[in-house]
Structure 1
Amino acid sequence: MTNLKPLALLGLGLVALSSCANQPQAEKSKAMIFTVADTGTTTTLFAGQSFEVKLLGTPTAGYSWEVQTLPAGVVLVDKKSEPENPKGRAQRMVGGNDWTSFRFKTSSAPADLQATTGQALVLRYARPWEFEAGKPADQIWQMQIVVKPGS
């Protein structure tokens, strides 16, 4: 029985080492979250990296956040809305704000990386029928995105 202890410890050590070796990849695939504070900034992402933009709005008054422009190499994966005050909604309170979350993924780096300079992800906040009638968006959120090949 005592001969098995060193083997068991060796096995546990190998498992621990292998999980540490994979940690940088796990962090690389972790989604970054951008908010209203990040508007007007520039970020560099790698091909295959995910990121999220989370903004507060008032859909009960007809306002919603929508994608206006996607830069090359960025794909919209999902859009969801969650109440700012879930307890209020559970109590059937009317109105209130919602968090709109856009999840994006970089598909690939464009062949000419210089072409991505100046390309922005632009989200607009407006009532859709007013925007279609020519009224400008009430708010614009934008971020310059540069997609580089995976490292």
Structure 2
Amino acid sequence: MNTMKPFALLSLGLVAISGCAGLPPAEKSTNMIFAAADTGTTKTLKTGQTFEVKLLGTPTAGYSWEVQSLPAGVVLVDKTSQPENPEGRKQGMVGGNDWTRFRFKTISAPVDLQSTAGQALVLRYARPWEFEAGRPAEQIWRMQISVKPGA
């Protein structure tokens, strides 16, 4: 009976692998990650391209990064947050900084290329209640983006 175990495991593994063959291909992984140092830059992206912006903040003090404006042809796909020091949080540390990661996708290029002037992705860092009360954001992150038809 023990000689059957390796064959059974091998057979089970082959079945699992062959079952994955019919799955649709995974979405292209993000090929660009922008950070705080990229603010004020200009980028040209192709339609269908994904990119991320990763910024450090202090949500435990009420501050958060939010999208203020998106250029035409760009959509927000996902926003996640994770501690800058995950091990410290596991050990019971309170507070600290978090990385906020925005994932975007370009979905279309403007038909009129003149309309791309002034198209910026703008992220603001503020306490939401202070921003709503008219206080300016603590920080602004901005990138000019133009979307061109992809290949």
Task: Please tell me the TM-score bracket, short chain as reference.
Answer: 0.7 to 0.9
Shift, 1:29, TM fit: 5.8
Consecutive unaligned residues in structure 1, runs of 5 or more: 1-27
Q: Secondary structure at the match of 1:81?
A: strand
The answer for unaligned runs of 5 or more in structure 2 is 1-27
What is the aligned partner in structure 2 of residue 71 from structure 1?
71
How many Å separate the matches in 1 of 2:111 and 2:126? 34
The 4+ residue runs of structure 1 with deviation greater than 6 A are none
The two structures have a TM-score, normalised by structure 1, of 0.80
**What RMSD, in angstroms, separates the aligned Cα atoms of the two structures?**
1.4
Letter of the 2:117 partner, please give it. T
Whole-angstrom CA distance in 1 between matches of 2:92 and 2:30: 35
Correspondence for 1:35: 35
Equivalent residue number for residue 60 of structure 2: 60
CA drift of 1:119 comes to 0.8
Secondary structure of 2:131's counterpart equals: helix
Q: Deviations over 1:52-88 (max 9, x none)?
A: 0000000000000000000000000000001000001
- Identical positions, percent: 81
CA shift in 2, pair 1:30/1:62, >3 Å = closer
